[in-house]
Amino acid sequence: MEFLGVLLIVPINPYLEEELDRRFKLFRLWESPPGRRREFLQANAPSIQAVVGSTAAGADAEIIDLLPRLEIVANFGVGIDKVDLPRCRERGIRVVYTPDVVTDDTADLAIGLAIAAMRRICDADRYVRAGSWKGEGDYKLTSKFSGKTVGILGLGRIGLAVAKRAEGFGCPICYCSRSEKPNTNYKYYPSALELAANCQVLVVSCPLTEETQHIINQEVIEALGPKGVLVNIGRGPLVDEPQLVSALLNGRLGAAGLDVFEREPHVPKELFKLENVVLVPHIGTDTLETTKAMSDLILGNLEAHKLNKPLLTPLF
Amino acid sequence: MSPSTPQPPEVLLLRPLLPSFDAALSGKFRFVKTWESPLPLHDYLAQRAASIRVLLCSSLQPVPPDVIDRLPALKLIVGSSVGLDHIDLAACRRLGIAVTNAGSVFTDDTADYAVGLLIDVLRHISASDRYVRQGFWPLMGDYPFSSKLSGKRVGIVGLGSIGSAIAKRLEAFGCPILYHSRTMKQSVSYKYFANVCDLASESDILIISCALTDETFHIIDKKVMLALGKHGVIINVGRGPLIDEKELVKCLMQGEIGGAGLDVFENEPVVPEELFKMDNVVLSGHSAVLTPESFHDLLELITANLEAFFSNKPLASPVAL
């Protein structure tokens, strides 16, 4: 093919955008006014063979249906809940994403959030910056992390990487997954509820699907309990957010470290005054190193598609 | 109590204990509380000196050398911390006074906190938490890029119990471990550096977990920080004076190093205010060991040391002087 026409749904990052512009024919969806998106897509459809989206916005039904020449969808991220996969399958559209390169950063953040939440690192930093260490004395006692049982919901690449790191802190590991994994010594529980009842730190790292929507519900949150810690590095809708907020406010859940929310970039304001919660703006893979690796993987996949070579990281 | 029942043994206190510690220990030991007497300290000690064999040191405040000198019967100082730079160890050696410290009761918590500070500094956890709470995410978009931890070279200054625990944790993140210690440890496979500057120049991260002595005062100086470089991160869970704090602040302000996570400072609780505006710095008020679990373990250890001493048994956590 002479050129590959690529639609970029949202900016994502400057390096990716520049490279897409340099190597392909780039269409920037956000350059059309929101009300004129359909017209923009229809006008450029004959030239667009590829769509690049992210966890913020992906190739949904509307976009796919308006692009009859669409051959490949590239997802910047390993979570592909924003891509209409059934539609892609029906149309024979290839889907590529960015597994493996995101594993380390996401697992690192999960541990960082767990320690920050249990040891109140952010609040202790606030305390010092407010002059309270000088004025009011030492910060209070906080909960030890080492040796606490860590339960992992979703023992995929990221879940396994979280487990490996937590083991370095002497944490016993248990997990719940769609199916039991044959090659681990970790204790398996068949449900999120049983997992929550048997661990102190619950790390949510499974994909968002119709089945896993609100898998962390009120019952699971209460099973985790007043000394429990919830860490969500998966997707916001995996957790029933209003229930989570209520449980944190009245002590039914001990603490939480949250990288994702149901309606990003909106975070429930009731959480802003709590010291037992850590709130970060979906930074799971936002390091210079990993965003470059993810970008290069997307670019490599698109190049391969253009040259009719095997795709690097196809989902299908 | 009948006249023939032995009195609980005396233990000198210069400052109050935590109420929970006092309550737990008062049944077994008779505390001599210097602040409860109207007499000046020296006069009070002169009165009681003959019978005082043990001092329980409950804080990091320096034990004045003239206190030790005025207690000719003193045979043991029980410390409540790992670091003993606030006790005149040379005087203890000279006078045959044994010293116990907190052993390994603080190892896990300190190591956890060091790793927590490190992830926070590199990944901007506290800074982006502030960003979210100020409502900036919907207004200003995503937070700027941060730095990956996994695989970065970690240089540990002081590979004792705490340094080793930090190393073990970071190995699980795929971080190559390098170290500097007074002497090379034969039983570890990490790369050893006799010189801290050389360690810094081959590390992306420096973690300070060594004891404060005359030799290690300002061991992290301007030269070391420049060797670490513009993307380097320093984590200090040892003692404030291990780092030249004025130089650290300058290096941070001028971008000569990338960031810092600090639990200790040269003049606690004073923290240089220039640090308060920095997003590449995470600060805490010497709180690495403040967990109920470690305090419980500390109480057990202090009790074990006191009971061992008064029954002529080997001490639980003696320090080589």
Q: What would the DSSP string read from start to end of A138-167?
A: S-------TT--EEEE--SHHHHHHHHHHH
Ordered mean pLDDT values, 10 residues apiece, chain A (316 residues): 89 97 97 91 97 95 97 97 97 98 98 98 98 95 98 98 98 96 95 98 97 98 98 98 98 98 98 98 97 98 97 98
The verdict on a CB contact (< 8 Å) between B112 and A290 is no
> pLDDT at position B51, please?
87
Residues 6+ apart with CB under 8 A from B227: B197, B198, B200, B201
Calculate mean pLDDT across residues B224-251: 98
Instruction: Say yes or no: A164 and A78 in one domain.
Output: no
Is residue B285 within 8 angstroms of chain A, CB to CB?
yes
**Distance (Å, whole) CA A47 – CA B59:** 73
Q: pLDDT tens digits for B242-262? A: 999 999 999 999 999 999 999
Using a 10 angstrom Cβ sphere, with 0-12 exposed, 13-18 middle and 19 or more buried, the burial of residue B197 is middle
**pLDDT for residue B60 is more than 90:** no
The verdict on a CB contact (< 8 Å) between B120 and A138 is no
Is residue B19 within 8 angstroms of chain A, CB to CB?
no
Is residue B290 within 8 angstroms of chain A, CB to CB?
yes
**Phi, psi angles (nearest 5°) of residue B99:** -130, 130
At residue B316 the predicted structure's pLDDT band, cuts being 50, 70 and 90, is very high
The verdict on a CB contact (< 8 Å) between B112 and A122 is no
Q: Which residue, among B24, B14, B81, has the nearest Cα to B290 in the 3D structure?
A: B81
Instruction: Say yes or no: A119 and A187 in one domain.
Output: yes
Q: pLDDT tens digits for B127-149? A: 999 999 999 999 999 999 999 99
Is residue A267 within 8 angstroms of chain B, CB to CB?
yes
- Please say whether the dihedral angle defined by the alpha carbons of residues A237, A239, A240 and A244, taken in this order, is positive or negative: negative
Q: Give the type of residue at B262.
A: L
> pLDDT at position A205, please?
98
Q: In which domain, by residue range, is A300 found?
A: 5-99+288-306
| B10-105+292-310: CATH class | alpha beta
Q: How close does chain A come to B312, measured CA to CA in Å? A: 34
Residue from A121, A126, A134, A258 whose CB has the most chain B CBs within 10 Å, to mutate: A121
Tell me how many domains chain A contains. Answer: 2
Instruction: Say yes or no: A53 and A130 in one domain.
Output: no
The two tokens of residue A301 are: 């996949």
Per-domain residue ranges for chain B?
10-105+292-310, 107-283
At residue B3 the predicted structure's pLDDT band, cuts being 50, 70 and 90, is low
> pLDDT at position B46, please?
86
Exactly one of A165, A235, A241, A305 is catalytic; name it.
Answer: A235
Please report residues of B whose CB lies closer than 8 A to that of A164.
172
Is residue B132 within 8 angstroms of chain A, CB to CB?
yes
Give CA separation, B296 vs B80, B101, B307, in Å.
Answer: 12, 15, 17
A80: domain CATH number is 3.40.50.720
Residues of A (101-130) whose Cβ lies below 8 Å from B: 104-105, 107-109, 111-113, 115-116, 119, 121-122, 124-129
Residue from B284, B293, B294 whose CB has the most chain A CBs within 10 Å, to mutate: B284
Instruction: Say yes or no: A132 and A10 in one domain.
Output: no
**pLDDT for residue B1 is more than 70:** no
Q: Which residue, among B305, B284, B314, has the nearest Cα to B102 in the 3D structure?
A: B305
Is A313 a member of any domain?
no
- Give the number of beta-carbon pairs within 8 Å between A and B: 178
Query: Which residues face A153 on adjacent strands?
Result: A176, A204
Please report residues of B whose CB lies closer than 8 A to that of A289.
147-148
Residue from A76, A101, A129, A160 whose CB has the most chain B CBs within 10 Å, to mutate: A129
Is A203 a member of any domain?
yes
Is residue B274 within 8 angstroms of chain A, CB to CB?
no
Instruction: Say yes or no: A300 and A260 in one domain.
Output: no
Percent above pLDDT 70 for chain B: 98
Is A311 a member of any domain?
no
Is residue A146 within 8 angstroms of chain B, CB to CB?
yes
Residue identified by tokens 């490279």 is: A19
Are residues B125 and A122 in contact, defined by beta-carbon separation less than 8 angstroms? yes
Give CA separation, B129 vs A75, B113, B123, B211, B290, in Å.
Answer: 27, 18, 11, 33, 22
> pLDDT at position B7, please?
85
Instruction: Say yes or no: A83 and A160 in one domain.
Output: no
**Distance (Å, whole) CA B148 – CA A109:** 10
Please report residues of A whose CB lies closer than 8 A to that of B271.
128, 133-134
> pLDDT at position A34, please?
79
Selected from 3.40.50.510, 3.40.50.300, 3.30.70.120, 3.40.50.720, the CATH number assigned to the domain covering B107-283 reads 3.40.50.720
Q: How close does chain B come to A300, measured CA to CA in Å? A: 22
Residue identified by tokens 């010594």 is: A185
Is A222 a member of any domain?
yes
| Cross-sheet strand order for the sheet of B191-192 | B191-192, B177-180, B154-157, B205-208, B233-236, B259-262, B281-283
Q: Which SS3 state, helix, strand or coil, does residue B31 take?
A: strand
> pLDDT at position B74, please?
96
Q: pLDDT tens digits for B280-298? A: 999 999 999 999 999 999 9
Instruction: Examine the residue annotation and report whether A266 is marked as an active-site residue of this protein.
Output: no
> pLDDT at position B4, please?
60
Q: How close does chain A come to B45, measured CA to CA in Å? A: 29
* Span of A247-261, B11-25, B39-53 with lowest mean pLDDT: B39-53
> pLDDT at position A1, please?
57
Q: What is the mean pLDDT of chain B?
A: 95
Q: Which SS3 state, helix, strand or coil, does residue A307 take?
A: coil
Please report residues of B whose CB lies closer than 8 A to that of A77.
none
The verdict on a CB contact (< 8 Å) between A122 and B292 is no
Q: pLDDT tens digits for B114-126? A: 999 999 999 999 9
Please report residues of A whose CB lies closer than 8 A to that of B154.
none
**pLDDT for residue B231 is more than 70:** yes
Other C-beta atoms closer than 10 Å to the C-beta of A250 total 9
Instruction: Say yes or no: A58 and A77 in one domain.
Output: yes
Is A312 a member of any domain?
no
> pLDDT at position B69, please?
87
Are residues A79 and A235 in contact, defined by beta-carbon separation less than 8 angstroms? yes
Q: How close does chain A come to B235, measured CA to CA in Å? A: 14
Please report residues of B whose CB lies closer than 8 A to that of A104.
148-151, 173-174
Do the domains B107-283 and B10-105+292-310 match in fold? Answer: yes
Instruction: Say yes or no: A142 and A212 in one domain.
Output: yes
Is residue B112 within 8 angstroms of chain A, CB to CB?
yes
- Is the ipTM reported for this complex over the cut 0.95? yes
Instruction: Examine the residue annotation and report whether A282 is marked as an active-site residue of this protein.
Output: yes
**Distance (Å, whole) CA B80 – CA B59:** 7
Is residue B140 within 8 angstroms of chain A, CB to CB?
no
Residue from B132, B139, B143, B170 whose CB has the most chain A CBs within 10 Å, to mutate: B132
Q: How close does chain A come to B138, measured CA to CA in Å? A: 5
Query: Which residues face B11 on adjacent strands?
Result: B31
The two tokens of residue B246 are: 């004025």
Instruction: Say yes or no: A72 and A219 in one domain.
Output: no
